[in-house]
């Protein structure tokens, strides 16, 4: 995967995935959107998002790291940080 992907590219990918999986309008998904409280995402939804990010970007996310991701912005920051490493 190209290391030149920026934060906006990651945000777009996360927004598209969540919109499709949770049947939510992409316009309703911002960086401050909380997975559980705002999107009613359960642990399986979050697991599927982590798997999608791992596959799309060639990164690994531990259970501990995943448990700290509470908002869309957290997920985007995590992936963008891994792509810079």
- The reply to whether 46 falls in a domain is yes
Active site positions, annotated: 42
pTM of the model: 0.87
H/E element, 30: none
**What mean pLDDT is predicted for residues 30-52?**
95
pLDDT for residue 2 is more than 60: no
Domain range for 20 is: 7-82
pLDDT for residue 54 is more than 50: yes
Q: How far is CA 8 from CA 25, 37, 69, in A?
A: 18, 23, 18
Q: What is the CATH number of the domain that holds 63?
A: 1.10.1200.10
The total domain count for the chain is 1
**Residue pair 32/76 in contact by the 8 Å Cβ criterion:** no
Rounded distance, CA 63 to CA 80, Å? 18
């Amino acid at each position: 995967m190209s290391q030149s992907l920026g934060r906006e590219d990651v945000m777009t990918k996360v927004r598209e995935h969540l919109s499709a999986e949770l049947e939510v309008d992409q316009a309703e998904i911002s960086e401050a959107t909380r997975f559980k409280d705002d999107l009613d995402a359960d642990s399986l939804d979050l697991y599927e998002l982590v798997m999608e990010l791992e596959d799309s970007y060639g990164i690994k996310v531990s259970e501990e790291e995943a448990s700290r991701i509470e908002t869309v912005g957290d997920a985007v920051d995590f992936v963008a940080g891994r792509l810079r490493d």
